[in-house]
Amino acid sequence: MKNLGNLMKQAQQMQQKMTEMQAKLAETEVTGSAGGGMVQVTLNGKGDMKKIVLEAQAVDPEDKETLEDLILAAHNDAKQKAEAMMAAEMQKVTGGLSLPPGLKLPF
């Protein structure tokens, strides 16, 4: 029974660390870019878009498709960076504990 008590205590500590990590990530911002920096998209750690920056030369009324593609690429770049940051933080919380494939912890 003592081992079960220790396991429960460790689970509670991990849950607290996860909550703290989620709060930290919500405040962290990551910027992705495309077109050599002509388009930048900033997301917070939860994936919410916080800001878009467009350089004047990226805005061509005759070629809106390119701008749309650049925005998508910048968003995907920021999302990839945010996911990498989240994975690194998760490693810190779980201490390298490998979770089974498909098991996602709530964010």
Q: Give the pLDDT score at 26.
A: 81
pLDDT at position 10 is: 77
For the chain, which ranges sit under pLDDT 50? 107
**What does the pLDDT read at residue 107?**
44
- CATH topology assigned to domain 2-94: Ybab; Chain: A; (3.30.1310)
Q: Where is 13: in which H helix or E strand? A: helix 2-27
**How confident is the model at residue 17, as a pLDDT?**
81
Query: What is the value of pTM for the model shown?
Result: 0.72
Q: Where are the domains of the chain?
A: 2-94
Q: Determine the number of helices (DSSP H) and then strands (DSSP E) in the chain.
A: 2, 3
